[in-house]
Amino acid sequence: MKLYPLKFTPIHKPKIWGGEQWLISAYGEDVSVVENGYLAENDLNELVEVYMGELVGDHVYEQYGNQFPLLIKTIDAQEKLSIQVHPNDEVAWERHRSLGKEEMWYVMDARHDSSLILGLNRDANREQLSAALQNGSLPDWMNVVKVKEGDVAHLPSGLIHALNAHVKVAEIQETSDLTYRLHDYNRPGLDGKPRELHIDYALDVIDYKQHEKPLVNYSPKQNGAVNLVENLHFVTNLICFNKTIERDYMPLDSFVVYICVKGSFSLVSDEEGDMTTILMQEGEAVLLPASTEQVKLSPTTNEAKLLEVYAP
Q: Provide the 8-state DSSP code for 84.
A: E
Residues facing residue 262 across a β-bridge: 305
Dihedral of CA atoms 282, 285, 290, 291 in degrees, nearest 10, equals: -70
Q: Which of 97, 111, 181, 187 is catalytic?
A: 181
Side-chain-side CA neighbours of residue 29 (13 Å): 1
d(C-alpha 134, C-alpha 132), whole Å = 5
User: Which uninterrupted H or E stretch holds 201?
Assistant: helix 199-205
Tell me if residue 45 falls in helix, strand or coil. helix
Length of the chain: 312
β pairing state of 285-288 and 256-262:
antiparallel
Residue 191 CB burial class (10 angstroms; 0-12, 13-18, ≥19): exposed
**Is 126 an active-site residue?**
no
Tell me which residues are annotated as active site.
181
